[in-house]
Amino acid sequence: MGKFYVTTAIVYVNDKPALHYLYEVVAADVLARYHRMIGDDTFFLTGTDEHSINVERAAKREGLPAKVYSDQMAQLYRDVEAQFGISYDRFIRTEDPDHVAGVQKFIGQMQAKGDIYKGTYSGWYCPSCEAFYQADELNDGYCRIHPSIKASWLQEDNYFFALSKYQGRLLQHIEKHPEFIQPESRRNEILGWLRAGLRDFSISRSTITWGIPFPGDERHVVYVWGDALVNYITGVGYGTDEALFKRWWPADLHIIGKDITRFHTLYWPAMLMSAGVALPKRIWGHGFMLYRGQRTSKTAGTAIDPIEVASMFGADAVRYLVLREVPFDRDADISVEAMTDRFNADLANDLGNFVYRSLSMLQRYFDGKVPAPDGDTTKLDADLRKAFEKAVKGQGKCLKDLNYTGALELIWAAVNRGNKYIEESAPWVLAKQSDQRKRLQTVMYNLAEAIRLTSLLIAPFMPDTAQKIAAQVKADFKMPWVTAQEWGGTAVRTQTTLGGVLFPRIEKELASSSTSSS
């Protein structure tokens, strides 16, 4: 049994959840579920970033104290994640007492190293990024990440972290460990920034009161990058539970959006070096979810409401659709129309029909009991088995590479091989021929076994659907993976049941008219 610790970025609570946020959390959840399924000791961390000027402003708009507003919003995110089956081991809030204590210890370690000093900052600031920029990093004064936000000029006394001191060590680490920043396009981008030279950055703010008091000077609060980033270690005991921290750190994988890659791959590792903490093993910066070519974002007003699409397709289906439609290494468009087409083709036609047709024939020909295979194996049988063995073997490799679309393509190739197997074997013809009873038994056993493996393969992606299918064929999800993944795990005379239609087709016109996002 291995160890696997995965995190997402923690999200600002200045607005309600959006689909592009859920995309990242679902991706991490799939990995966590897969690693648990294969027997790895797994910890999945996600949560909310509550100390920012954006949150403070949002609270004022609602007429609430920042703490009350943050409590309400954190619960909202928890509720949405519960609806989508997000199986986190901890939901961390930057308001949590152990996080506050851990941040102050972390800052103290950097102070003791001599890497924090006081100075005056003058520069351009994007409130949505919570970041300072040089003029040449803006687009005619507007933020490149948030094109509708014009940066404002700020000048204030802050404490700074000596990032420039770590330029050489960072470059050495990234070049020695090419897997540290992925995908490769993101790594090349970071190396370009790094070789151009690093500037020290503010690690405190003196004009904000909503935040963690800065150690040694409570007229300041810890700035976002010295607060939010530190959740990855405080969430597993840094500063409060040494045994827990030793068990889980370093993280095996940070999953983040590409807009915050610089902070995670330069600021974060440099601060860890300063504080004497090991670096995470891998950081993956995924692309943007687009709508009609534009980034979906709350700031731009193009965000898609996950609750709306869940009411249309079902939460489990949305988990599948976002990971199938948007490859994890690049920007890609998504729309209700495309999701509807994919839903009808992949879920209603392919998966739903495969399960329903197979189990209904088992009921008709064998009263639902799985028959013993009898007779020689044909090429059709071998092809079906190979398709599922390829999916089982390939899923692990694809998920290691965060190639969700690749993993799903392998699974659907197996499902479609199952559908083709039905057509080519024609059980309804075999059932009419008394001398083909043994062949019918073999065909129906193979279909039951294919359904069992399908339930296992889709379990990380669509956990509720997987459980429904597993219940119909009595698949044992507690069976050790080394055994469960092998063809032939369905016991003869297993009593199957026929459930309802898993995914009723959706009329495209109705789907388009039922959401303002279309």
Q: Using 50, 70 and 90 to split pLDDT, how confident is the model at 511?
A: low
pLDDT tens, residue by residue, 373-406: 998 899 999 999 999 999 999 999 999 999 999 9
Amino acid at 355: V
Q: In Å, how far are 94, 131, 232, 247 from 255, measured between CA atoms?
A: 18, 20, 11, 20
Which among 252, 180, 237, 235 has a CA at the least distance from the CA of 4?
252
Residue 413 vs residue 206, higher pLDDT:
413
Give the pLDDT mean for 359-376.
Answer: 96
Amino acid at 204: S
CA 448 to chain centroid:
31
pLDDT tens, residue by residue, 6-36: 999 999 898 899 999 999 999 999 999 999 9
Give the whole-number percent of the chain exceeding pLDDT 70: 97
Q: Using 50, 70 and 90 to split pLDDT, how confident is the model at 503?
A: very high
Query: How does strand 289-291 pair with strand 332-333?
Result: parallel
Is the CB of residue 18 less than 8 Å from the CB of residue 310?
no
All domains of the chain in start order, with CATH? 3-303 (3.40.50.620), 336-484 (1.10.730.10)
* Total residue count of the chain as it appears in this document: 518
Provide the 10 A C-beta neighbour count for residue 66: 21
**Taking the complete model, does pTM exceed 0.85, yes or no?**
yes
